[in-house]
Structure 1
């Protein structure tokens, strides 16, 4: 099993990256919380990795912190929650917010994540309530990606959020609201983060 990877970052997107480790390119799926803190292309990146075995493939999931990886493993232990949904949860909620929602039994908060309905949210809250105490606080993610064109910025944010499962119409309206209260063009990661705050408030 691959538990960690350090290599040259040759490709990055909000949902996955490619790490070149001694000439071998590894595709690693990531949550937005990890995307926020990725270095520039061709710089070295280090991730905690969970190896997911399927009948037809071996998939790698990478995380900036051990807490994120632990939260991912806990989420995938819940009936009906696969790796894709677990990444969606970690993209929408920080580990502390996730832990707080589970401990409080806040099904409505959990159900704001795309793909997580009330039943799935209830299972997460019920099955993980006694387990989330083992999670600590993740490192604060730093945003560093900036775009020269506001239209390109919004297009990239729209694509990232739609890939997470949000409806295009909802995302466009949310990005419009965020833009109206922002004095200057934000970093892509800041724009996505602010939009997610609005979207997860339902």
Structure 2
């Protein structure tokens, strides 16, 4: 199993990245909370991975820390929750927020995420409350060695490119084209990069 990848960040197209390891490019899908922590393209990254093999595909999911990966692995154990939905959940809220929502039985916050209906939210709370009790989810260093994610700067995309990339990323996370377009429109500012637009859009629905 592929547990960790270290290489050069070759491409970053939320929610996917391409990491070059000695000439081999690994396409990895990350939750947005981990993707925010990436350095600029061209820099070295270390990503903790979870490899999924299906009949029709081989998928590689990545995380900023081992703790985030551990949480992902617990989430996909829940009945009816696959890797894609788990990634969407961890894109819409941080690991700490998810653990708190489960602990508090906060169904309202969970059903705001695409693909999470009331029954799924209730099942997550019931099935995961005990399992998450011993899971230590706390702030850790980021993929590029920094601690404070919010202070990380990103390059400014052109206006239309930033908007389209943000919308495409939200659609990939499970939102409809109409929903994604509206979410980006509600928070759009010329100065925001695509990653900042995605982050603002997700925060706006929380």
2:75 alignment partner in structure 1 = 75
2:65 alignment partner in structure 1 = 65
TM-score (structure 1 length as normaliser):
0.88
d(CA) in 1 for partners of 2:174, 2:59:
20
Please show how residues 155-170 of structure 1 align to structure 2 within 5 Å. 155-170=164-179
TM-score (structure 2 length as normaliser):
0.86
For residue 151 of structure 1, report the CA deviation from its aligned partner. 2.8
d(CA) in 1 for partners of 2:98, 2:204:
16
2:198 alignment partner in structure 1 = 192
Aligned partners of 1:3 and 1:50 also within 8 Å: yes
d(CA) in 1 for partners of 2:119, 2:67:
25
For residue 108 of structure 1, report the CA deviation from its aligned partner. 1.7
Question: Residue 18 and residue 107 in structure 1: after superposition, are their counterparts in 2 closer, same or farther (change >3 A)?
Answer: same
Please show how residues 139-158 of structure 1 align to structure 2 within 5 Å. 139=140, 140-142=148-150, 143-158=152-167
d(CA) in 2 for partners of 1:46, 1:65:
9
Aligned partners of 2:14 and 2:166 also within 8 Å: no
Please show how residues 5-84 of structure 1 align to structure 2 within 5 Å. 5-84=5-84
User: Where in structure 1 are there 5+ consecutive unaligned residues?
Assistant: none
For residue 56 of structure 1, report the CA deviation from its aligned partner. 4.2
Higher relative contact order (CA 8 A, sep 6+): 2
d(CA) in 2 for partners of 1:18, 1:177:
30
1:135 alignment partner in structure 2 = 136
d(CA) in 2 for partners of 1:173, 1:25:
34
d(CA) in 2 for partners of 1:43, 1:109:
35
Aligned partners of 2:5 and 2:49 also within 8 Å: yes
1:171 alignment partner in structure 2 = 180
| Greater mean deviation of Cα atoms: 112-121 or 185-194 | 185-194
What is the RMSD of the two structures over their aligned residues, measured on CA atoms?
1.9
Question: Residue 40 and residue 114 in structure 1: after superposition, are their counterparts in 2 closer, same or farther (change >3 A)?
Answer: same
User: Where in structure 2 are there 5+ consecutive unaligned residues?
Assistant: 141-147
Aligned partners of 2:166 and 2:198 also within 8 Å: yes
